[in-house]
């Protein structure tokens, strides 16, 4: 199973407006969209892979923390 997940992560990231057709229904769904866009890269000279992983964990943690508030928001047709 991890091989399949790795293959999906190696694909080019689809632009956000093409990938998301409606707002995420769960925090996990939103986190999957975010994770595709914050994958670690080895060619970043000023951030180690470990630092990138730590920052990604912080972002995911923050998303989980604010998800109840995000879920309560009214859909804005202009966004």
Domain boundaries, the chain: 2-72
Q: What CA–CA distance (Å, rounded) separates 65 from 69?
A: 9
- pLDDT exceeds 70 at position 11: no
Residue 15 Cα to chain centre, angstroms: 13
The per-residue pLDDT for range 31-77, each reduced to its tens digit, is: 888 888 888 888 888 999 999 999 999 999 999 999 988 888 777 66
pTM of the model: 0.65
Select, from the ranges 1-5, 17-21, 62-66, the one with the highest average predicted confidence (pLDDT).
62-66
- pLDDT exceeds 50 at position 29: yes
Q: Kindly state the DSSP code that residue 73 receives in the 8-state scheme.
A: S
């Amino acid at each position: 199973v991890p091989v399949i997940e790795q293959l999906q992560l190696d694909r080019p990231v689809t632009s956000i407006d093409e990938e998301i057709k409606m707002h995420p229904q769960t925090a996990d769904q939103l986190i999957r969209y975010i994770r595709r866009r914050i994958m670690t890269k080895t060619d970043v000279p000023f951030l180690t892979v470990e630092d990138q992983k730590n920052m990604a964990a912080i972002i995911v943690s923050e998303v989980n923390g604010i998800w109840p508030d995000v879920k309560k928001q009214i859909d804005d047709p202009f966004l």
